[in-house]
Structure 1
Amino acid sequence: MPNAPTLPRTPAPDTAAPGRPLEWLHADDLVPYPEALAAMETRVAAIREGRAAEAVWLLEHPPLYTAGTSARIEDLTDPDRFPVHFAGRGGQYTYHGPGQRIAYVMLDIAARGRDVRHFVSQVEDWVIATLDEFNVKGERREGRVGVWVVRPDRPPMPDGSPREDKIAAIGLRLRRWVSFHGLSINVDPDLSHFDGIVPCGIREHGVTSLVDLGLPVSMADVDVALKRTFPQIFGRPIETAGSGN
């Protein structure tokens, strides 16, 4: 797997979270989606069998679209623009590409209370806390997946309500109570690449990024914020040495 970091198998003691070992993994190069999916599958199996620590994998993909289990073909408006991959996660179509921080979250949800709804809420809270590190107010919206920001700098909606743009997507899957897939935060992607889909099936709202909001934020800045806020949401883990490529 030339572009993906080796996901080491480190012993994971049979203790409840928080306080479980957690490994932060980082890929310096763009990781092809099929390789990322295969690496996650391998790591999830190892976590489930007690042969590996929980992990958060930080990476970027080359430009591509992924289709979740609820994706509608009519929302793929430009099928020839980028490769399309069936993800197996929840949700609809989304875009991944350079300038977008992906965090694949491989956690033992059985050790964390077996509450799927609470876990999804925690992932949303993690994104919101990360954005808050940059004084960006991320918000949930009923019936709209992901994290949103209000755009008072943009013309209002036809009904007079403030315009809102999506800044982060969330799509998760569990296998025998171990999570995988995760979240994506738009740091500085080419926002025109979202034009080939209806992101998450939502037509009336747009997408934005930290840089689009006028913030000179780097990917490294976002990584620091993700690591700093993780314990606030999930509890403080026992961190193990991570790896990159």
Structure 2
Amino acid sequence: MRVLTLGRREYAETEAAMRAFTAARSPETGDELWMVEHPPVFTQGVAGRDEHVLGAGDIAVVRTNRGGQVTYHGPGQVVAYPLLDLRRLSIYVKEYVFRIEQAVLDTLEGYGVTGHRVRSAPGIYVRLDDPFDHAVLRPGPEGALFEGLGKIAALGIKVSNHCTYHGVALNVAMDLEPFTRIDPCGYAGLRTVDLRSIGVAATWDEAAARLAAALQRRLAA
């Protein structure tokens, strides 16, 4: 898988490039992984509901064809877009999502942070009281899936003719205020955190390199 570190790029420009790359693929096209940082933007998934945008203010809201609800992209966030042929990997979408999440968990582990999955809520979460606690996360009571948790990575993908685009966003050192203007991923009151807010100092370049390496390992054939 070829890794391209593209730096800061406008979201709409990047999405158009992903669509074009995917539409032009043939069975011989090599897989790529794009590592990007976006200027401030809210993105709505294909089933995104307007009521989850509480007040966008001066930040644009862009409709997109990925899965999921609304999320925020901005400086200090590492966004990884795997452009893969799942037939080449001989895996289905569920396994693909699992492997992406595992790559994020691997990346967090490298910083001493314990990430967690939450049933039926794609993405990765950390304990707010102790992000470094290695204890197994016990399911919360019904209606309180995110009690004591903060979301540190959001996942939204698209698969077209077995080929993937869109991807995963890891919060590194951001202005987190824009997340308060939305129901992140459609969940009212869900707290969003980044590495900096839980006590981990990391640069964008370093975190991007670590996440790219973890995705390369987890998405290898």
TM-score between the two structures when normalised by the length of structure 1: 0.80
* Kept in 2: contact 1:145–1:200 (CA 8 A): no
Q: Partner letter of residue 87 of structure 1?
A: T
1:22-33 equivalences under 5 Å are 22-28=1-7, 30-33=8-11
Deviations 1:202-240 (A, max 9, x none): 12320000011111111121122123323431227xxxx
Partner of 1:202: 187
In 2, Cα distance between the equivalents of 1:203 and 1:61?
24
In 2, Cα distance between the equivalents of 1:224 and 1:231?
11
Counterpart selection for 1:39 from 12, 17, 22:
17
Runs of 4+ in 1 over 4 A off after TM superposition: none
**Fraction of identical pairs, as percent:** 31
In 2, Cα distance between the equivalents of 1:65 and 1:27?
20
In 2, Cα distance between the equivalents of 1:90 and 1:41?
15
RMSD across aligned positions (CA)? 2.0
Change (3 A) 1:144 1:213: same
Change (3 A) 1:33 1:228: closer
SS at match of 2:196: coil
Report how many aligned residue pairs link the two structures: 209
Q: Partner letter of residue 167 of structure 1?
A: I
* Kept in 2: contact 1:152–1:162 (CA 8 A): no
Change (3 A) 1:24 1:216: same
Q: Deviation at 1:45?
A: 2.5
* Kept in 2: contact 1:151–1:162 (CA 8 A): no
Q: Deviation at 1:122?
A: 0.9
Change (3 A) 1:194 1:204: closer
Q: Partner letter of residue 132 of structure 1?
A: E
Deviations 1:102-129 (A, max 9, x none): 0011010111224111111111111111
SS at match of 2:59: coil
Q: Partner letter of residue 49 of structure 1?
A: S
Q: Deviation at 1:24?
A: 0.5
2:170 is the counterpart of 1:214: no
* Kept in 1: contact 2:183–2:190 (CA 8 A): no
* Kept in 2: contact 1:81–1:196 (CA 8 A): no
Q: Deviation at 1:50?
A: 3.7
Partner of 1:107: 84
Find the structure with the greater CA-based Rg: 1
